[in-house]
Amino acid sequence: MSCEEQGRLLDLYREAVSHYSATVNDMHLTRGKITKEEYDRLLRTTNKARADSETAYFSLERHVDKHGCQTFLRKPRGQI
């Protein structure tokens, strides 16, 4: 059985992780090529993207716990 809210939260998590990955890649590609100020800005952006991806993951986890739907991340509490 499909859960619409789970699908929405999975999409948000996927988008957040994709954005985080892109910012980490930007940091790698620009290493040694940008000013300290640009680096600090990129680091802040990357840290925010990481935090956003964690928030999206925990929102999905809370939903699975509350609703009992299954996800690829793990089975709901109480199931083996």
Burial 11-48 (b: 16+ CB within 10 A, else e): ebbeebbebbeebeeeeeeeeeeeeeeeeeebeebbee
As given in the structure block, the two tokens for residue 62 are 């809370």
Architecture of domain 4-67: Orthogonal Bundle (1.10)
pLDDT of residue 1: 46
The pTM of the full predicted model, rounded to 2 decimals, is: 0.80
pLDDT of residue 78: 54
pLDDT of residue 71: 62
24-54 pLDDT, tens per residue?
999 999 999 999 999 999 999 999 999 999 9
